[in-house]
Amino acid sequence: MPPHRDGNITNSFQRKSEGQGKTKTEEPTANSPRDAPTASSSREEDKNNGKRRISDSPPTDERCNVKALKADAPTHLSSKDLAPNWLTATGNVTSTTLSLSTHQGDLFDQAPPNCLLVHACNTQGSWGAGIARTFRERYPKAYTIYRDFCTKEHNPRYSPVLPGTALIIPPVDSGKSQWIGCLFTSAKYGKAKAKPEAILRNTTPAMQMLLELIRQADEITELRMCKINSGLFGVPWEETQEALESIKVREGWRANVEIWEP
Ligand SMILES: Nc1ncnc2c1ncn2[C@@H]1O[C@H](COP(=O)(O)OP(=O)(O)OC[C@H]2O[C@H](OP(=O)(O)O)[C@H](O)[C@@H]2O)[C@@H](O)[C@H]1O
């Protein structure tokens, strides 16, 4: 995927079934990895040339055929791009657990091209305070993609983004070459944010999904993350750290995450 897009991300994950009725949202438990919402197979064929766009094709043998995605319209990657039960279909579990390396400095400073910058997000489409606000100021077009994902592709009331999932957004802001990673660890924010134990429960499956989406994006150079959940979400960093370091790395996943703290 070329580093700079024109920023007009067409949401090629439009689904015929968009606007479905209410769905019950549950908080995933640490031991029952959430079955990612299935990529809808009811997507229409591209009538213009009869070709099924990758985003309209059901996942092939367990995973999206991402190769064709690069030739297709630019877009984000999310749970909708993963096959049902994707976690069991993901490569073999290795004996390695995720390792975190700490770096002193501003997450954004001199982030290399195609580096993924990761933060914790709510599913309401708001980057209103904290580091999220900085993300919004520095990557306004990426913010628009996140917001539209939460409020147009999903509907916070009737078909919300599920906590415990993730979203990655390619470089779309002019002059910027970084990807943005969103870990949905709490549905709401502020006083309505999830309880710390729910945020922690969501962190593991969200991170597992992020690692799989990174593997599929196949262009990301390094992975930088702030101390997610430890500020406005009110979860002691050590607890999030323990949850992250307990993740067993699958074949093809990044095994190291850089944690940047000011
Ligand atoms: N430039 C920088 N480089 C490196 N580290 C930086 C930094 N700037 C701040 N940090 C640190 O990054 C950690 C996270 O701190 P945060 O409180 O922001 O995030 P969180 O994950 O606890 O909570 C998420 C919810 O907060 C937001 O705001 P809203 O809900 O919209 O109101 C979202 O939208 C979510 O909902 C803290 O250690 C900060 O010191």
Per-residue pLDDT of the chain (262 residues; tens, 9 = 90+): 433 333 333 333 333 333 333 333 334 333 333 333 333 334 344 444 433 333 333 444 444 444 444 445 457 999 999 987 888 877 788 889 999 999 999 999 999 999 999 999 999 999 999 999 999 999 999 999 999 999 999 999 999 999 999 999 999 999 999 999 999 999 999 999 999 999 999 999 999 999 999 999 988 999 999 999 999 999 999 999 999 999 999 999 999 999 999 9
Hey, which of 106, 126, 131 would you mutate to test ligand 1's pocket, going by the most ligand atoms within 8 Å of its Cβ?
131
Asked whether residue 190 is domain-assigned, the answer is yes
Neighbours of 101 (CB within 10 A): 9
Distance CA 42, CA 17 (A): 8
Asked whether residue 246 is domain-assigned, the answer is yes
Distance CA 157, CA 119 (A): 23
**Numbers of helices and strands, H then E, in the chain:** 6, 9
Asked whether residue 6 is domain-assigned, the answer is no
Asked whether residue 68 is domain-assigned, the answer is no
Instruction: Detail the DSSP E strand segments found in 2-135.
Output: 77-78, 93-97, 99-104, 116-122
What's the domain range around 125?
86-261
Among the atoms of ligand 1, which is closest to the Cα of residue 122? 36
CATH of the domain at 201: 3.40.220.10
Distance 81 CA to ligand 1 centre (A): 27
* Domain count across the chain: 1
Asked whether residue 30 is domain-assigned, the answer is no
- Residue position matching structure tokens 């002059």: 175
Distance 67 CA to ligand 1 centre (A): 34
Asked whether residue 17 is domain-assigned, the answer is no
Entry pTM: 0.78
Asked whether residue 52 is domain-assigned, the answer is no
Report CA torsion sign: 127, 129, 135, 139: positive
Nearest in space to 108 (alpha carbons), one of 142, 79, 75? 142
Asked whether residue 57 is domain-assigned, the answer is no
User: Is the distance from CB of 230 to CB of 236 less than 8 angstroms?
Assistant: yes
Distance 140 CA to ligand 1 centre (A): 17
